[in-house]
Amino acid sequence: MLLTSLTDSQDLERAVTVGEETLSRSELVDRAGRFAAGIPDDGPVAVHATASMDTVVAITGCLLAGVPVVPVPPDSGPAELGHLLRDSGATSWSGERPDGIDLPAVVPGTAAVSPRETDPEATAMLLYTSGTTGAPKGAQLSGRAIAAGLDGLIEVWDWTPDDTVAHGLPLFHVHGLILGVLGSLRLGSRVVHTVKPQPARYAAAGASMYFGVPTVWNRIVDDPASAKALGGARLLVSGSAPLPASLFERIAGLTGQAPVERYGMTETMITLSAHAAGERRAGWVGLPVPGAQTRLRPADDGAGETVPDDGETVGRLEVRGPMLFSGYLNRPDANAETSTGDGWFRTGDLAVRDPGGFHRIVGRESTDLIKSGGYRIGSGEIEAVLMDHPAVAECAVVGAADPDLGQKIVAYVVGEGTGQALIDHVASQLSWHKRPREVVFVEALPRNPMGKVQKKLLGS
């Protein structure tokens, strides 16, 4: 069973806290069991996944009932929301009801039902990817996959029932929902959701483990008093986006410990992470977690080949392991595109790996692979170095056609200063051939409705 600790006899007085509301384990089991009693059929159930205890109860109730759950981002627009409901085949709704929703509401029963034995390979959760092109795709995660992913992290992070996890991340993604809430419910540790990821709320949580994304950590280090209050924690975890090296150092300087960086996707859970008791290296996302395997394939599709583990050669990252999803719902085309046929998943990310097995993510293959002067370069590592420059607020690096190099590296920058200063800055941190040949200052970067930079529009 995925949420094993919820069926234990032990009762934590404060198992889950969301904002000002707290439930013990027995109280959560009762409320989730009553929610499960009200589910009208075999689902899926769409849950309006606000940062609330109601969301935790509803998702827990679906998992205990063995009914697939579809966490719906509360800021979904009408078109996106309509697609999620049609594609998932959701049969009922839980939570606040936006305009246009005509699904029947789940009405909790008066008595809790017992957890239901289900097939561990059946879909437990449908998480929709944000997607940079086309409509979001539904990633089918089984109970077994979620459990395997969590158990791998429990081991490498030395996570125990004595820990308290605190975060203020969304409850419709892997990071905030599965790691931040379900991990604690599976293991039996306490979880505190701060509703908003504000520095003062993190500082007041009194946790031993904190989860955040780079934006959150940047806000925390800008509030030194709050950052220092986190010094008593044993693990500070950053993920979901690259953590600039300068921010890594500021976190370490204010809290007394380097953060743990990790890598994963909706489709794969977390497959790479630095270990709690191991090395933590700025810009590197660590080693495969237990059960996960990785390989780096040549960017030119070299059949049966892998790239050398030299920490420099860029390859296409592929992963496999028991934490991988079962496939995209209703998307055989996407399944064929991302599957190798022998159990490996093509992540679409570019990475390098050093002789010790540490990985560094350098960008997305579709937009971030630049072929310049015979070199294959990931734009992500250049962007990370540029973001460490105090004059740079935002940046995006692309390859532009060049008659001599094939592609030249061009950096689009929101900020101040001179282009030559930024070129020299990159050259001082990375290999000479990775320096931008041109810097273009812009007022803003083009972004899609999800906030992701649309690199294909740069230079057009």
Angle between helix axes 53-65 and 25-37 (nearest 10 degrees) is: 70
- Which residues on adjacent β-strands are paired with residue 209? 165, 235
Lowest-confidence pick of 287-291, 361-365, 393-397? 361-365
Q: Is the pLDDT at 310 greater than 60, yes or no?
A: yes
291 or 131: which carries more pLDDT confidence?
Answer: 291
pLDDT confidence bin for 282, thresholds 50/70/90: very high
Q: Is the pLDDT at 277 greater than 80, yes or no?
A: yes
pLDDT at 123: 97
pLDDT at 130: 67
Q: Is the pLDDT at 122 greater than 90, yes or no?
A: yes
pLDDT confidence bin for 129, thresholds 50/70/90: confident
Side-chain half-sphere exposure of 333, counting CA atoms within 13 A: 2
Check: CB of residue 126 under 8 Å from CB of residue 136.
Answer: no
pLDDT confidence bin for 133, thresholds 50/70/90: low
pLDDT confidence bin for 2, thresholds 50/70/90: confident
- Could you read off the pLDDT of 210-227 as tens digits, one per residue? 999 888 998 999 999 999
pLDDT at 440: 94
Check: CB of residue 292 under 8 Å from CB of residue 152.
Answer: yes
d(C-alpha 78, C-alpha 351), whole Å: 36
d(C-alpha 82, C-alpha 439), whole Å: 41
Q: What is the mean pLDDT of the chain?
A: 90
**Residues 138-164: what's their mean pLDDT?**
96
**Residues 68-94: what's their mean pLDDT?**
92
pLDDT confidence bin for 12, thresholds 50/70/90: low
Q: Is the pLDDT at 207 greater than 80, yes or no?
A: yes
pLDDT at 76: 82
pLDDT at 79: 80
**Residues 134-153: what's their mean pLDDT?**
93
Three-state SS sequence of the chain: CCCHHHHCCCCCCCCEEECCEEECHHHHHHHHHHHHHCCCCCCCEEEECCCCHHHHHHHHHHHHHCCCEEEECCCCCHHHHHHHHHHHCCCEEECCCCCCCCCCECCCCCCCCCCCCCCCCCEEEEEECCCCCCCCCEEEEEHHHHHHHHHHHHHHCCCCCCCEEEECCCCCCHHHHHHHHHHHHHHCCEEEECCCCCHHHHHHCCCCEEEECHHHHHHHHCCHHHHHHHHHCCEEEECCCCCCHHHHHHHHHHHCCCCEEEEEECCCEEEEECCCCCCCCCCCCEEECCCCEEEEECCCCCCCCCCCCCCCCCEEEEEECCCCCCCECCCHHHHHHHECCCCCEEEEEEEEECCCCCEEEEEEHHHHEEEECCEEEEHHHHHHHHHCCCCEEEEEEEEEEECCCEEEEEEEEEECCCHHHHHHHHHHHCCHHHCCCEEEECCCCCECCCCCECHHHCCC
For residue 252, give Cα distances in angstroms to 174, 217, 224, 248, 259.
Answer: 25, 11, 12, 6, 7
377 or 297: which carries more pLDDT confidence?
Answer: 297
CA 95, 97, 98 angle in degrees (round to 5)?
A: 135
Q: Is the pLDDT at 366 greater than 80, yes or no?
A: no
pLDDT at 308: 92
**Residues 266-271: what's their mean pLDDT?**
96
Q: Is the pLDDT at 112 greater than 90, yes or no?
A: no
pLDDT at 303: 58
pLDDT confidence bin for 375, thresholds 50/70/90: confident
Q: Can you list the domains of the chain with their CATH numbers?
A: 1-364 (3.40.50.12780), 373-457 (3.30.300.30)
For residue 278, give Cα distances in angstroms to 24, 153, 167, 290, 460.
Answer: 34, 14, 23, 14, 45
Q: Is the pLDDT at 243 greater than 90, yes or no?
A: no
Q: Is the pLDDT at 19 greater than 80, yes or no?
A: yes
pLDDT confidence bin for 116, thresholds 50/70/90: confident
**Residues 242-254: what's their mean pLDDT?**
91
pLDDT more than 70, % of the chain: 94
Q: Is the pLDDT at 164 greater than 90, yes or no?
A: yes
